Amino acid sequence: MIDNPLHSSNMPRRKKSVDQKDLPALFANLGHDGCSVCLGGLFKQSRPVALVRALMRSGLRHLKLFSSPGSGYDVDLLIAGGVVSETYLPAVTLENRLCPNFRAAVESGAIKAQAVDALTVVGGLLAAANGVPFQPVTAWAGSDILSLNPLIERIESPFGIERVYAVRAISPDIVLLHAQEGDEYGNVRNLSKMTYADSLMARAGKKVVISVDKLIPRETIIRNSTETTIANIYVEAIVEIPFGAHPTASYPFYSMDNEFIEAFADLSDEARRIGNDAALREHLSHHVYGPFDSFEYLDTVGGYRRMSQLEREARFL
């Protein structure tokens, strides 16, 4: 009988949990100016926002930004902070409106927005996850994306049939993910279904850092091993940050804070229209650069009174 490695007492284990105050230094050590960063989650669901704020405080600049096919608030926050130089994003939207900082940066030429689609990102991540240099994709035939997308090429099939298209492997230097639960060894459980490509990103990335709303005992992971969605072998560090996805949602724990997102978008839109970003800078200082940790951050967004409202909303959705 072969022992289950999760139950083996002889298996060497390394605790991967870190304190959130150490995140900026961790990112500065893992990355470099101009490195590639990939964000998980989907639109306003399970986005790694607390990790994004720590990344902004790390001092890293000129980032090449990737994301799951649906991105929004966290991308716009990074761009507002001036740390992004190039994007590979199929969709950047707040769903009911455009992302103002992304729009302004593209219009002014402050960032270079590459024309990529969802198949590019998912195909590229799949290639990296499988350890191959490219992933064939057939759906691009007849599309203008072929002349605009820098990550795809037309190739000859090794089996003598018609030419096919391929996307090169995407292996980001740093992958940031948010999940609901995990243990101190880096095993993760996504309780939300709105994760899309998170497990794929974990396999494709060079260094993967994950925030979780709750750290749970390893014994809980072992007893319910089939519920593990990302194994610790792919994880560089895991950090417990209650409400770490705020203002996006982390179901089933809490809903999205649309009021906060809309207020940020209004400030950003005003800065784009009138060319005065003083109010936006004050917002970043108050919510991103000022708070020492997530507890101080939560105090700036309404504290537990507001978080309890979002928890209640999640129970009734």
| CA dist 307 → 46, 53, 110, 254, 286 (Å) | 15, 18, 35, 8, 18
* Same-domain status, 98 and 134: no
Question: Is a pLDDT exceeding 70 seen at residue 18?
Answer: yes
Whole-number pLDDT of residue 76: 97
Residue 196 is predicted with a pLDDT of 75
237 shares its domain with 302 = yes
Give domain status of residue 87, yes or no. yes
Provide the 10 A C-beta neighbour count for residue 206.
16
Q: How remote is the C-alpha of 57 from its chain's centroid?
A: 16
Average pLDDT over residues 49-70: 97
Asked if 176 and 152 sit in the same domain, the reply is no
Nearest in space to 36 (alpha carbons), one of 195, 175, 135, 200? 175
pLDDT of residue 145: 80
Other beta carbons within 10 angstroms of residue 306's beta carbon come to: 18
Same domain for 239 and 108 = yes
**Do 153 and 46 fall into the same domain?**
no
- Give pLDDT, residue 115: 93
Is 229 within 8 Å of 40 (Cβ atoms)? no
**pLDDT above 60: residue 144:** yes
What mean pLDDT, rounded, does the chain reach? 92
Q: Cβ(27)–Cβ(55) under 8 Å?
A: yes
pLDDT at 160: 74
pLDDT of residue 4: 47
**Both 187 and 276 in a single domain?**
yes
Q: Which two tokens stand for residue 82?
A: 């001036």
Q: What is the pLDDT of residue 7?
A: 47
Instruction: For 215, list phi and psi in degrees, rounded to 5.
Output: -85, 130
> Averaged over 180-205, what is the pLDDT?
93
Question: For residue 2, is pLDDT > 50?
Answer: no
**What pLDDT, on the 0 to 100 scale, is given for residue 274?**
85
Question: What is the pLDDT averaged over residues 137-165?
Answer: 84
Packing angle, helices 258-274 and 100-108, rounded to 10 = 30
Q: Concatenated DSSP letters for 219-251? A: HHHHHTGGG-SB-GGG-SEEEE-TTTTTTSBBT
Range of the domain at 163: 118-168
Whether 189 and 41 share a structural domain: yes
Share of the chain above pLDDT 90, in %: 82
- Domain contains 196: yes
Q: Is residue 253 part of a domain?
A: yes
The answer on pLDDT for 183 being more than 50 is yes
135, 153, 168 - which closes a domain: 168
pTM score, whole prediction: 0.93
Does 89 lie in the same domain as 122?
no
Domain assignment of residue 10, yes or no: no
Beta strands in 250-298 (DSSP E): none
- Is residue 57 included in any domain, yes or no? yes
Q: By the 8 A CB rule, do 75 and 100 touch?
A: no
Instruction: Identify whether residues 290 and 160 lie together within a single domain.
Output: no
Q: Give pLDDT, residue 11.
A: 59
Number of domains in the chain: 2
Separation of alpha carbons 293 and 245, rounded Å = 14
DSSP string spanning 107-134? HHTSSEE----HHHHHHHHHHHHTT-SE
In this predicted structure, the answer to whether residue 297 has a pLDDT above a threshold of 50 is yes
**Which among 303, 291, 308 is positioned nearest to 53, based on CA atoms?**
291
Are 219 and 262 part of one and the same domain?
yes
What pLDDT shows up at residue 273?
A: 87
Q: Please check whether residues 53 and 136 belong to one and the same domain.
A: no
User: Which is it for the CA torsion 54, 57, 60, 62, positive or negative?
Assistant: positive
Q: Which band of pLDDT confidence, cut at 50, 70 and 90, is reported for residue 216?
A: very high
Both tokens assigned to 55? 């990344």
pLDDT value of position 98: 93
At 46, give phi and psi (nearest 5°): 50, 40
Judge if 162 and 178 occupy the same domain: no
Asked if residue 68 belongs to a domain, the reply is yes
Mean pLDDT of 235-241: 98
pLDDT band for 12, please (50, 70, 90 cuts): low
pLDDT of residue 10: 56
What residues contact residue 13 under an 8 Å CB cut-off, 6+ apart?
185
Residue 105 has pLDDT above 50, yes or no: yes
Question: What are the structure tokens assigned to 19, written together?
Answer: 């304190």
Specify if 5 maps to a domain.
Answer: no
Last residue of a domain, one of 145, 168, 191: 168
* Candidate from 6-20, 29-43, 259-273, 279-293 with smallest mean pLDDT: 6-20
What number is the average pLDDT over the span 60-67? 98
101: phi then psi, degrees, rounded to nearest 5: -70, -35
Which of 123-132, 142-151, 195-204, 272-281 holds the top average pLDDT? 123-132
